[in-house]
Structure 1
């Protein structure tokens, strides 16, 4: 009865179910299409709005940085004022200073670029965050609005932080360029192993009685801090015999109380010492005259010398050189009670090496040959191109040899015998025993008239500055492995000046040390063991205690070699 016939209540439901399923599918399809269309519209709207927002913010950041008053102020503040130097006064250090100024002036622009880039990166990050939140809003309509509100709050906070950073950066630049002092190149350079030097350009005031030089920076460059250096104002920074000169850069309060000028000078000044190891001709030239030439020759005489520890004998002996390097009076700096004001002051002397010049480091690429020709010109000696007297003067039948005998150490104990041997070899001999009171002018003319300058390693050979090109310096090398020192101190410089260098190394028996200590003493048998004990031991035996008894028979071939060189 009842199982095969449909129930009144279930039959209609089955019919309606088919229609409802179809309607449900249609509605679902419309929902999907609507969702996709809505998502596309939201995405399009988001892209348009975010691009406009990002462009406006990026432009706003760029405009705020490019028109910031702090940048304009900084550029003006980074342009220091200084007196225009003469062409001869311009040095490599000045070019370095200009490069530093240019680099400093570009620093604010670099800071603004960094901040601008940071702002753009922040906006890009912000756009990425909004895109993620829009996706979340589509997926979760109820929680999406809260997330968007939070994101907008975070975005506003980040914008505020960016604006604060930019504003603070502008304040920092204003404080740096207006309230603070632009860093300056240090006045003193203590980096060279041989010498210290200080160079002041601007308001420089020399107080000789205090051995002090003051620098007053321009008013806009005076800070709260001062700087001070104390250096030996000669070419040997570790020489204990030379006193110190103080160089002080004043701060704002000190500059206001600085001593007033008692005299003003239009030329620069150089402060240097004449004492130390001077009175030895080698040290006179190596420690003072060559460094003074390096430091001042490019100024063509327009410089004044402020000499600490002035030595009257030095001024008198080398007056022609000093007068040519400076057309102005030499000032005894230690006794000068005034306040001398100069546009530029150099404290100390440059030096490259012992009795030498490095052209790569010298103004105008000076060489030791330039110095020699300069000295020869000062003393009125023949110019370059004039040959040695033996070839230049036809009446000469024999080359002339100046034989220098030292007075105390490393002297020739058989000096008359050596004079006779040189004459027998075919030389006209001019024997000389240099004295401190011997005038340089007289000695210079005598050396210039000779073809050969001969002597034991020592200060007397410094007169090779007065030899002509192609003349011969004949150096007798004492016992004690002194060949290297002889080459460094005289042989090398002689060749730089186009002189011919000949060296004769004595045998052990030609040294008076052989008689004093015997052949088995390390002083004779092992000189290197003496040198290894320290320079003072080598100095004691081989420089101070030693004299020379030249074996004229052994020495004869060397004289013949020199004679042949002059005849070639």
Structure 2
């Protein structure tokens, strides 16, 4: 019995072991099958996701510099994602990012590692899949802590991002500090006087300007004051090389000098212009060329809201040109040599700008003024007819109310040199040609208000090359300036001093050059004298000798017969 029982037990044990083994084998197969299924599923998922790229797949951003973030990424590669490793790479991330942009996916902002809620879910799923892959691939089935590695990588990326942001912020702070430093530092002081022009010197002061007795002081703001001041001696007219012009002192005060600057005795809301009235004035050409035209260039843009501080004030000049001066400045003229007060202005200009002799360069003038603008300005000041009226010869009878009169010719005779010695004969010749003749001898005390109307009533202004022709400012558009050019190769001077200006002002310039026989030099020195026979030899010896003979010693005896064709041609031109 005992033996039988032992035999049965022995038989039962192997059978049980076999059952357990069988069960274990089945479980093992099930586990292996499960794992294999998971692996296949992962491979298929990775392949499919790499090939088609879901628009909700999160893109892991690398820490980049601002320049890299702003750079345009390359277009997606045409290589199938199946050929890439299962794990995502930088290239895959870039491709996904580009694909997201192309397909209208959510834009991920720089420096932000999260997206919307749906993308967060997908990110968690991706993280679990990566952990499962890592666990399966390790020997012995021991999982690697990929979550820790991913967190470390993410933390590293975040740290790099924070470092870059801090660097960017530091750069911004440095830039801000530089701006603050620049703003707090005294601005470099600029010279307030410009001595570079060959014709004139000019000083412009904007700010605290104090004028007293031929001196203009500039008190800089506290932040711009230096240890040393600056000082200039300025000839305050358009011809800075004239010895007749006395100098005006202009100073930029130092920090110490600013503390002791003289107090203002009067304050003015308008700017001031400092200029001289002496020099070569009393000659009408120089009155306009050296003072009035430069004063127009310098002060016209103020529209009358400016005060004149005049050095070497000439009462006759103020009286003769009072309409022009009163229009350029609606404020009293100050005698700057005798004014004992301290006048304070927001802006002061010392000196007069001048572009050329009796001329304006529109490119250098405020509001692009021209010499034609100046002529129109003068006509308006003297209340002369508007330019649309036309020359008197055509205007007289245009409305059919009166018979058309003869064209009027003003014959200007000089008083000392280059005068017409046969003036009555010349006037008679002009009348014979069909002109009404008005003979005048301009004087310095001539009242311009009345004289300007006489000039305006004429169609032709005739005279020898000289100051009397300056009255062409009162002529109407298309009127004629008839310039008689003296002997001595003076055509060039006649053109640059009057001819060019006449054309710029829309006047007609006609010139008649006399022969040697029409010059009194012929009677005085004879035909063989170099001044008569060879004027060029005189000019080569210097302008002083040419001035002596041709400007100062010469008078004109006009050959009326030779001059008649010029008058006839002029008459036909006026009738056209």
TM-score, with length taken from structure 1? 0.71
Describe the SS at the equivalent of 1:403. Answer: strand
Residues 82-481 of structure 1 mapped to structure 2, 5 A cutoff: 177-178=184-185, 181-208=186-213, 211-394=214-397, 395-481=403-489
The offset of 1:60, in angstroms, is 7.1
Give the helix-richer structure, 1 or 2: 1
Check whether the contact 2:199–2:354 (CA below 8 A) recurs between aligned residues. yes
For 1:280 and 1:405, the matched residues in 2 are separated by: 15
CA deviation string 1:324-367 (max 9, x = no partner): 01010000000000000000000001111111111111111111
Match of 2:46 in 1: none
For 1:406 and 1:412, the matched residues in 2 are separated by: 7
Match of 2:37 in 1: none
Match of 2:526 in 1: 518
Larger Rg: 2
Q: Are residues 73 and 255 of structure 1, via their aligned partners in 2, closer, same or farther at CA, if it must alter by over 3 Å?
A: farther
Residues 26-105 of structure 1 mapped to structure 2, 5 A cutoff: 64-68=170-174, 71-72=175-176, 74-76=178-180, 78-79=182-183
1:546 corresponds to which of 545, 548, 554: 554
Match of 1:562 in 2: 570
Check whether the contact 2:487–2:515 (CA below 8 A) recurs between aligned residues. yes
Describe the SS at the equivalent of 1:380. Answer: coil
Unaligned runs of 5+ residues in structure 2 are: 1-156, 398-402
The offset of 1:75, in angstroms, is 2.2
For 2:255 and 2:546, the matched residues in 1 are separated by: 54
Describe the SS at the equivalent of 1:561. Answer: helix
Describe the SS at the equivalent of 2:337. Answer: helix
For 2:428 and 2:509, the matched residues in 1 are separated by: 22
The offset of 1:486, in angstroms, is 0.3
The alignment's C-alpha RMSD in Å is 2.2
The offset of 1:521, in angstroms, is 1.4
Q: Are residues 73 and 326 of structure 1, via their aligned partners in 2, closer, same or farther at CA, if it must alter by over 3 Å?
A: farther
The offset of 1:55, in angstroms, is 10
Describe the SS at the equivalent of 1:542. Answer: helix
The offset of 1:275, in angstroms, is 0.4
Match of 2:143 in 1: none
CA deviation string 1:348-407 (max 9, x = no partner): 011111111111111111111110011001101001111111111123431110000000
CA deviation string 1:127-162 (max 9, x = no partner): xxxxxxxxxxxxxxxxxxxxxxxxxxxxxxxxxxxx
Unaligned runs of 5+ residues in structure 1 are: 1-50, 80-176
Check whether the contact 2:396–2:405 (CA below 8 A) recurs between aligned residues. no
The offset of 1:56, in angstroms, is 9.8
Q: Are residues 530 and 54 of structure 1, via their aligned partners in 2, closer, same or farther at CA, if it must alter by over 3 Å?
A: farther
Match of 2:498 in 1: 490
Check whether the contact 2:277–2:314 (CA below 8 A) recurs between aligned residues. yes
For 1:460 and 1:303, the matched residues in 2 are separated by: 31
For 1:423 and 1:517, the matched residues in 2 are separated by: 33
* Residue 527 of structure 1 pairs with residue 535 of structure 2: yes
TM-score, with length taken from structure 2? 0.70
For 2:476 and 2:190, the matched residues in 1 are separated by: 44
CA deviation string 1:157-199 (max 9, x = no partner): xxxxxxxxxxxxxxxxxxxx54xx3213321111111111100
For 1:275 and 1:78, the matched residues in 2 are separated by: 46
The offset of 1:561, in angstroms, is 1.1
CA deviation string 1:189-211 (max 9, x = no partner): 11111111100000000012xx1
